[in-house]
Amino acid sequence: MKRIYAYFFRGLITFLPVGLTVYALYLFVTWVEGSAMRLLRPFTGDFYLPGLGIVLGTALILVLGFLVSQPFMKRALGWVELPFTNLPLVKSIYSSLKSFADYFAPHERDAQQVVLLKKPDSDLSIIGLVTRQSLADLPLDAHTQKNVAVYLPMGYMIGGYTVFVPRDWVQVLDMSVEEAMRSSLTAWMGNTKNPPSP
């Protein structure tokens, strides 16, 4: 029975990530295709090409990205964000998600670094992400302004901490931000156990 349980849970763990990913993609594609069909039916009648919703959604996202990149759209975008940045509970959620998304924006790529944070007189080390190379524009004392900002994500993405530390406390790792975030999501748990012998 123990061997059967082990095989069952191993199969379940193998299936869940693939199954949930495929299911999420299926829901997304279904929603996009349904929305595009309802939008285009008044103009095209019964004619509809499968996949047109994906093309239309991609085009709309590209147009939106182009528009928000223009200087004249900043004020308009500020008006759109006004309700989300002023309501108490919504403000906290929206600001956190927006800051997190902005960190992965292309214009921030040069500042992104995965680092090993270790205090010189301690054996404790932790992996984090450099979010700011310069703190000169923050209202901090002159000594702290020389530091760098490092974000320390918590396991399963339930939160995290940003710490300001001296530059010599961090060591840049040869790891992408995406890989570091994926590992942080599972608390750096790896499949290090040997499979049970048959």
Query: Is residue 122 over pLDDT 50?
Result: yes
* Pairing of the two strands 125-132 and 148-153: antiparallel
User: Would you place residue 108 in the very low, low, confident or very high pLDDT band (cuts 50, 70, 90)?
Assistant: very low
Query: Is residue 169 over pLDDT 90?
Result: yes
User: Would you place residue 193 in the very low, low, confident or very high pLDDT band (cuts 50, 70, 90)?
Assistant: very low
Query: Is residue 69 over pLDDT 90?
Result: no
Residue 166 pLDDT: 93
User: Would you place residue 87 in the very low, low, confident or very high pLDDT band (cuts 50, 70, 90)?
Assistant: confident
The pLDDT tens digits of the residues spanning 6-49 come to: 888 888 888 888 888 889 888 988 888 888 888 877 777 777 77
Residue 183 in 3-state DSSP?
helix
Which string of b and e fits 97-119 if b means at least 16 CB within 10 Å?
A: eeeeeebeeeeeeeeebbbebbe
Residues with Cβ within 8 Å of 95's Cβ and at least 6 positions away in sequence, in order, are: 85
User: Would you place residue 147 in the very low, low, confident or very high pLDDT band (cuts 50, 70, 90)?
Assistant: very high
User: Would you place residue 156 in the very low, low, confident or very high pLDDT band (cuts 50, 70, 90)?
Assistant: low
To which residue do tokens 């670094």 refer?
Answer: 113
Q: What is the mean pLDDT of residues 66-87?
A: 77
Query: Is residue 110 over pLDDT 50?
Result: no
Tell me the average pLDDT of the chain. 79
Query: Is residue 115 over pLDDT 90?
Result: yes
Residue 86 phi/psi, 5-degree rounding, is -125, -25
Percent of the chain residues topping a pLDDT of 90: 10
Percent of the chain residues topping a pLDDT of 70: 85
